[in-house]
Amino acid sequence: MTFKGNVKMIVERMTGHDAYGQPVVSSTFSSRCSIVKLAVDRLKTSVRTDTSASGGNAHEIIADARLLAALNPAVEVGDRVIVAGVALRVDTRFVRRDVHGNTHHFQLDLSLWA
C-alpha cells in the first residue's frame, strides 16, 4: 500500500548561501503530506524591549511540527517546506516502514523558518 498525503506542501531545496548570507533555492517542487502536529504559537520572551521600565516584553513566534511525507520526491534535512501557509525548516527525517519491513514514508520534524 502506498502513502498518500492529504495536504499539499511546497518544498524548496537549498544549495548554499549568497554573498549576503541568505539561503539560495536551487529547485522547488510540490508534494503531498499528512500533518501529525502543526503548532504555531507566540511566546513572551524574557528580553526587555525598552529601557523605560514599562515591563514590555518581546514576542517570539515558534512552531513545532511533525509531517508524514511520501518517498518520492524525497525531502532532505535543511529544505524549506511551506504547508498550511507556514514556512518550516526540516530538522530531522526518519524512515518509517510497513509491517513487512519495506520503506513506506518519511517522518519529518520541523521548526519555524527564521
**Segments forming the whole domain that contains residue 80:** 7-47+54-112
Residue 59 within any structural domain of the chain: yes
Residue position matching grid coordinates 524591549:
49
Which pLDDT band, with edges at 50, 70 and 90, does 73 fall under? confident
For residue 95, the model assigns a pLDDT of: 94
**Residue 88: is it exposed, middle or buried by C-beta count within 10 angstroms (0-12/13-18/19+)?**
buried
Residue 38 within any structural domain of the chain: yes
CA dist 73 and 89 (Å) reads: 17
Tally of domains within the chain: 1
Which pLDDT band, with edges at 50, 70 and 90, does 83 fall under? very high
Mean pLDDT of all residues in the chain?
A: 85
Residue 1 within any structural domain of the chain: no
22-26, 66-70, 76-80, 82-86 — which is least confidently predicted? Answer: 22-26
Residue 75 within any structural domain of the chain: yes
What would the mean pLDDT of 51-76 be, rounded to a whole number?
76
pLDDT digits (tens, 9 = 90+) for 18-51: 899 888 888 999 999 999 999 877 767 666 555 5
| Domain containing residue 106: CATH number | 2.40.10.370
Q: Please state the length of the chain.
A: 114
What is the gyration radius of the CA atoms in the chain, in angstroms? 18
Output DSSP code: residue 99: T
Query: Which amino acid, one-letter code, is at 5?
Result: G
Residue 2 within any structural domain of the chain: no
- Report the sign of the C-alpha dihedral through residues 81, 76, 112, 39, in that order: positive
CA dist 108 and 59 (Å) reads: 26
